[in-house]
Amino acid sequence: MTDLKGALIGCGFFAVNQMHGWKDVDGASIVAICDRDPERLKIVGDQFGIERRYADANAMFADGGFDFVDIATTVNSHRALVELAASRKVPVICQKPFAPTLADAKAMVAACNTAGVPLMIHENFRWQTPIQAVRKALDSGAIGTPFWGRFSFRSAYDVFSGQPYLAEGKRFIIEDLGIHTLDIARFILGDVTSLSARTKRVNPKIKGEDVATILLDHENGATSIVDVSYATRQSVEPFPETLIELDGTEGSIRLTQGYELQVTNAEGTTNTDVAPTLLSWASRPWHNIHESVYAIQQHWADCLKAGKETSTSGADNLKTFALVEASYESAETKATVEIGKLLA
C-alpha cells in the first residue's frame, strides 16, 4: 500500500514534535502545512522541507491531495477545524484538549460520525513506554484484580516559557495536564462513574488552578486518586513523569521516579527499567513525551490503513473530557459529580 499523505494545521511549539514524529512513522508523511502566522509557517516548512504552505485551512482543503489532517492548534480553533475536515470527508487527528466545552466535543464527534470519517484525539500520554508497561503488568494478572490506584504528576517545571498561553486561561492544570492523568487513570483502571475534586492556585502569576486532587470511582469498583501539581518543588524534578501506584488482590505495582517499574506479589518483587527510548530528534526531559508522539501517530497510520478505530478515538476521548468538566464542576460546587449525566 502507498504511504498515507497528511496535512498539518498549526505549526507552533508542539507541532515541531509532531512533524519529527511523522518523519519516523512508517507508512505516512506530511505533504502540506498550514499556519496563519507566516513566521511559524516558514520555520516549520524550511525545517522539514515542506513546499506546500498555506495561511488558511480552507485554501489547503480546497487544493486537497492528502488522506488525513493533523490539527496541532490550541483548543479554541479545534471545533471549527475538525468540522471543516468532516465537511471535506477527511479523516482527522485533533490535539488535546478536545474542545473548550463538552458540548463542542460532542458536536465534533457527531460531525465526524455523520461524515463517516475517523477522528482521533492526540492524547499521547497513554502511549508512553512506562504507562504501557504498567498496563502490561496489570494484564499479566501479576497483582490480581486492582482495587485502588494513584496517578500522580507533581512538578515545579516552568511550562509557561514554552507555552505562555497556559498562564492566561481561567482553567489551567486540569484542562492542560490533568486531562492526560485522567486519561491514564481510565486507560489503567477503566471508565469512571463519579468523581469529586478540589483545586488550588498557588502560583500568583497565573490565572488558573495549578494544583488539583481528584477522587474517582471506577465502573469495576476500584477507587483511585489523580493528583496533579505545578507548584511542587522536589529535590529531583520529575517532569514529565506520571507516577503510578496500584494495589490488587494478589500484589501491587509501583511506577516510581526514574522510570522504574516494581511488581510485588507472593512470588516476590521484580524491578524493571521502563525508561523511554531517546529518539534521534528527542531531548531530555521531554523524550518520554516525544516517544509517545511517534507511537500515537504510528498507531493512527496503522489504524487508518486497516480501517480500525484508534485507542483515543473521539468517542473514547469524550469519556476523558467528561472527567475534566466534572472535575471543574466538583471543585466549584464541592459535590460529587456523576459522569453518566454528562455523557447522556
Least distance between ligand 89V and beta carbon 192 (Å): 20
Task: Please state the three-class secondary structure of 194-235 as a single string.
Answer: EEEEEEECCCCCCCCCCEEEEEEEECCCCEEEEEEECCCCCC
Of the two residues 15 and 134, which places its CB atom closer to ligand NAD in the complex? Answer: 15
* Alpha carbons 118 and 289: distance in angstroms, whole number: 24
Residue 163 contacts ligand 89V per CB under 6 A: yes
Least distance between ligand NAD and beta carbon 206 (Å): 15
Residues 299, 316 contacting (CB under 8 angstroms): no
Binds 159: which of ligand NAD, ligand 89V, none (CB < 5-8 Å by kind): ligand 89V
Of the two residues 211 and 289, which places its CB atom closer to ligand NAD in the complex? Answer: 289
Residue 44 contacts ligand NAD per CB under 6 A: no
Of the two residues 18 and 196, which places its CB atom closer to ligand NAD in the complex? Answer: 18
Residue 100, preceding bond cis, omega within 30 degrees?
Answer: no
Site string for ligand 89V, 220-259 (x = CB under 6 A): --------------------x-------------------
Provide the edge-to-edge strand list for the sheet that holds 268-273: 268-273, 260-265, 251-256, 243-248, 146-154, 223-229, 211-218, 192-200, 337-338
Of the two residues 124 and 213, which places its CB atom closer to ligand 89V in the complex? Answer: 124
**Which DSSP letter does residue 2 get?**
P
Binds 143: which of ligand NAD, ligand 89V, none (CB < 5-8 Å by kind): none
Query: Which has the closest alpha carbon to 274: 253, 293, 249, 296?
Result: 253
- The phi and psi torsions of 88 (rounded to 5 degrees) equal -95, 0
The half-sphere exposure of 213 on its side-chain side, counting CA atoms within 13 A, is 4
Residue 12 contacts ligand 89V per CB under 6 A: no
Judged by CB under 6 A, the residue of 176, 291, 316, 325 near ligand 89V is 176
Alpha-carbon 236 to chain mean position: 24
Binds 95: which of ligand NAD, ligand 89V, none (CB < 5-8 Å by kind): ligand NAD
Query: Coil, strand, or helix at residue 153?
Result: strand
Of the two residues 166 and 337, which places its CB atom closer to ligand NAD in the complex? Answer: 166
Query: Which has the closest alpha carbon to 75: 159, 14, 152, 147?
Result: 14
Judged by CB under 6 A, the residue of 3, 13, 102, 160 near ligand NAD is 13
Site string for ligand NAD, 242-271 (x = CB under 6 A): ------------------------------
Residue 35 contacts ligand NAD per CB under 6 A: yes
Binding residues for ligand 89V (CB under 6 A)? 159, 163, 176-177, 180, 240
Binding residues for ligand NAD (CB under 6 A)? 9-15, 34-37, 40, 57, 72-75, 77, 95-96, 124, 163, 176, 289
